[in-house]
Amino acid sequence: MTKEETQQPQQTNPSEKVSREATQAQIHLEIMHKAMALLCVVNKPTRFMRAAMAFCNELAAQWQCERVSLGIIQGRFMRVKAMSHCENINRKMQLIQDIESVMEECFDQNVEVAFPTHAEAMVIAKAAAQLSQKHGPSALLSVPLHLNDEIEAVVTFERPASEPFDDQAINAICLACRLCSVRLLNLRHQDRWFGARWVESLRRGFAFIFGLQHTWMKLATTLVIAGIIFLCVARGMYRSKSSCVLESIVQQSICAPFDGFIKAVNVEVGDNLTAQATVLAELDTAELRLQLASARAEQLGYIKQVNAYMRDGQTAQAQIAQADADKTQAQIELLEFYIDQAQLKTPITGKLVAGDLKRQIGAPVKTGDVLFEVTPLDALRAEVLVSEDQILDIETGQTGNLATVSFPDQKIPFEVELISPMAEVVNNRNVFKVRVQLKDTRDWMRPGMEGVAKIDIGKRRYIWIWTRKLVNWIRMKVWL
């Protein structure tokens, strides 16, 4: 067989294709006509029960059904509300209960359930099979009706078993039900008394809040609301946060006792000093010793003059010479005092914090020049620079903690001791200096260390603590 003969049976007759397309178009047109006719029937009534009866009757007439039933979900169960060609429905009838079971089966699966089922259908039709056996045999189809993506009703179709619902009929029925479901279910909601509508609105609201949909959005909203409530109700410690600097309570200055020159320096900054034992430096006393020798020689001359005047009986001259000898003695004692003070010693025990003079040996100094500064490290305090918007909250006796830049992990407790009554400008802002007494000292603490101090003022609501500065800024901007 040739290749042309093999492909010839696969060719489609153009006239047959056009005829098939025309037939499909005619079928679709009929489906749309039925759906629009059903929608017109449902739109005419203004009450739910009338619309439901008209809906069931029209469906039964269009699809040659023996019975069409409409069920509404109430709580967790389906209740038959309308049935074709039947005005009164008695729920005690076994037929009604079996139909409701079929509707609940469709409701649970949220999909169209047809009986008999196709072999490839992934649905359960156990209740539909029981209804067909008890009150049939019949072919069944259950279609869910949705409103706002939620199932609120189910329509069940029954017709002879010899006329099962094929895929084309199922699709047509589903299209018609979708077109009418919004109008029909809205009428049901509007037809109820206002109390039932309120309860339904509350139920939907709680279902939206506590349901499984939009979980992350609900979780975020819940956390935000919980956070706002926590900030408005919970109370925390309100603290004033300010910069601080450590300073010594006592700082001893060692000054030059006389004009002279630096002869030797024995200490460096950071050395530990012992009171009246450690020699910090020594001044040159060569000139003083020469002046002392001259004064002693001069004194000896005056004493000889006193003796000579006394021997000659010149009392007045002897008294004048004695006065000069006493004056010279005073000069001698002053020079001896200066020589004794030439070795500079610290009067207190502590650490040398200023006075690096080893590179200034031989340099001249004048009386009163500060050469060294000694501080006892076990007597430190801190000075806190509190901004003027928080100074009114600070009181003596309040406690807090500070941390230095060198050791931020170690918190030093303190107590407010003194508040300066006058503001000072520091770093281009007004601050009040608050002196605090440290309740604990560490070996590493040094005067001049900077850090951050937090003064505990009292319990306040978190929302007030976090919005205080913004509120005060707004008040200043809108103040008239």
* Domains contained in the chain, number: 2
The pLDDT value recorded for residue 2 is 45
Element (H, E) at 375: strand 370-375
DSSP string, 155-203: EEEEEETTS---HHHHHHHHHHHHHHHHHHHHHHHHTS-HHHHHHHHHH
Q: Are the CB atoms for 68 and 84 separated by under 8 Å?
A: yes
Rounded to 10 degrees, the C-alpha dihedral 77/78/79/80 comes to -160
The pLDDT value recorded for residue 16 is 72
The pLDDT value recorded for residue 268 is 86
Please tell me whether residue 84 adopts helix, strand or coil conformation. coil
CA 105/CA 129 separation, integer angstroms: 11
CATH number of the domain that residue 95 is part of: 3.30.450.40
Instruction: Tell me the CA distances in angstroms from 5 to 1, 2, 10, 11, one per residue in order.
Output: 6, 5, 10, 11
Q: Is 180 inside a domain boundary?
A: yes
CA 418/CA 435 separation, integer angstroms: 5
Q: Are the CB atoms for 319 and 383 separated by under 8 Å?
A: no
Q: Is 353 inside a domain boundary?
A: no
pTM confidence score = 0.51
Lookup: tokens for 298: 């001069």
Lookup: tokens for 1: 């067989």
CA 34/CA 453 separation, integer angstroms: 82
| Burial (CB count <10 Å: 0-12, 13-18, 19+), residue 400 | buried
Q: Is 262 inside a domain boundary?
A: no
Amino acid 414 reads: F
The pLDDT value recorded for residue 196 is 67
Q: How many residues does the chain have?
A: 480
Domain boundary among 200, 231, 248: 200
Please tell me whether residue 147 adopts helix, strand or coil conformation. strand
Q: Beta strands 113-115 and 412-419: pairing type?
A: unpaired
Q: Is 159 inside a domain boundary?
A: yes
Domain boundary among 171, 200, 229: 200
Q: Are the CB atoms for 62 and 34 separated by under 8 Å?
A: yes
Domain boundary among 165, 200, 235: 200
The pLDDT value recorded for residue 7 is 45
Instruction: Tell me the CA distances in angstroms from 260 to 91, 347, 356, one per residue in order.
Output: 123, 21, 18
The pLDDT value recorded for residue 122 is 81
Residue 380: CB partners within 8 Å, gap ≥ 6?
246, 247, 248, 249, 438, 441, 445, 447
CA 474/CA 287 separation, integer angstroms: 73
The pLDDT value recorded for residue 479 is 75
DSSP string, 55-80: HHHHHHHHTT-SEEEEEEEETTEEEE
Q: Are the CB atoms for 454 and 402 separated by under 8 Å?
A: yes
Identify whether 257 is preceded by a cis peptide bond (ω within 30 of 0). Answer: no
Q: Are the CB atoms for 277 and 266 separated by under 8 Å?
A: no
Q: In the chain, which residues have pLDDT < 70? A: 1-13, 17-18, 22-23, 25, 27, 119, 194, 196-197, 200, 204, 206-214, 480
The pLDDT value recorded for residue 211 is 65
Residue 220: CB partners within 8 Å, gap ≥ 6?
none
CA 211/CA 149 separation, integer angstroms: 14
Q: Are the CB atoms for 173 and 34 separated by under 8 Å?
A: no
**Residue-wise pLDDT tens digits, 14-39:** 777 667 776 676 767 777 777 788 88
CATH number of the domain that residue 450 is part of: 2.40.30.170
Q: Which domain holds residue 420?
A: 380-478
- Radius of gyration (Cα) for the chain, nearest Å? 54
